[in-house]
Amino acid sequence: MRTILSWNVNGIRAVVKNGFLAWLQVAQPDILCLQESRALPTDVGPEVLEPEGYVSYWNPAQKKGYAGTATFVKKGLEPKKVGTLGVPRFDDEGRLQVLEFDDFTILNGYWPNSQSKRARIDYKVDWCGEVTKFCNKKVKNGENLIICGDFNIAHHPIDLARPKDNENNAGYYIEEREAMTAFVGNGYVDTFRHLNPEAEEYSWWSYRTKARARNIGWRIDYHCVNEGFIDQIDRAYILGDVLGSDHCPVGIDVKD
């Protein structure tokens, strides 16, 4: 069994100060995909670049202190190839890492925030379309995909504590939900909802309202797979007790 975790850390340097490295050694995921790393590899020390037992791959944004993705892989399980989406306006923000392994390809993604008053909704919807096209091409070529990360979308009412109150808020705009529906309709499965159809669990809580203490949250972090790979997913779960960010890690266990 291989464990793949995904976590929007809201700044790698901040989460390191909050015990990230100690947590990693206890959790011991085979692969850990991070979003919103907000750092260049040169901004962190060797203990972060190569924690005991791991190698890391970084895809920072060109804008300093913004967005970015990074992936930590156990030594001995290194990917054959690491790439990006190949679309400059998204790659410039470090939005997607593509890591090709023998049995599957991981897409570690940080979906854009559409922002208040739909300021970036067009950028967000375009991103969703480009990622879908990219995934479709890879599946057509015979690859199995694990698409994980912070999607910044609560897909259905069950995926957030107060759906009615948030219909006109970023992350739950109808355009975003429709983009997620279109993605799933292209042959991809939300592993957590597939394996936990009734679960009301969340992966993000607003700092501003101390929402985590009251569990007024959103599930916006996902592991999706192509339909042909869903039988290889043994378990999908949310590690809601892990602190250090306004998000918590989410995980899947993949059969060998």
Q: How far apart are CA 164 and CA 106, in angstroms?
A: 34
- Reported as a single tens digit per residue, the pLDDT across 35-48 is 999 999 999 999 99
Q: Is the pLDDT of residue 244 over 90?
A: yes
Domain boundaries, the chain: 2-254
Question: E strands, 36-180, where?
Answer: 54-59, 69-74, 81-83, 96-100, 105-110, 145-150
Both tokens of 158, joined, read: 């069950």
Q: Is the pLDDT of residue 26 over 90?
A: yes
Q: What average pLDDT does this structure show over 198-202?
A: 98
- Residue 231 designated active-site: no
Read off the pTM.
0.98
Provide the pLDDT for residue 115. 97
- Reported as a single tens digit per residue, the pLDDT across 152-180 is 999 999 999 999 999 999 999 999 999 99
Give the percent of the chain with pLDDT over 90: 98
Listing DSSP states for 17-52 in one string gives HTTHHHHHHHH--SEEEEE---S-GGGS-HHHHS-T
Provide the pLDDT for residue 120. 98
Provide the pLDDT for residue 52. 98
209 pLDDT tier (thresholds 50, 70, 90): confident
Architecture of domain 2-254: 4-Layer Sandwich (3.60)
Cβ-defined contacts of 84-92 (< 8 Å, 24+): 84/59, 85/130, 85/131, 85/134, 86/134, 87/130, 89/123, 90/127, 90/130, 92/61, 92/62, 92/63
Q: What average pLDDT does this structure show over 222-237?
A: 98
Average pLDDT, the chain: 98
Q: How far apart are CA 248 and CA 164, in angstroms?
A: 24
> Which of 91, 150, 221, 231 is flagged as catalytic?
150
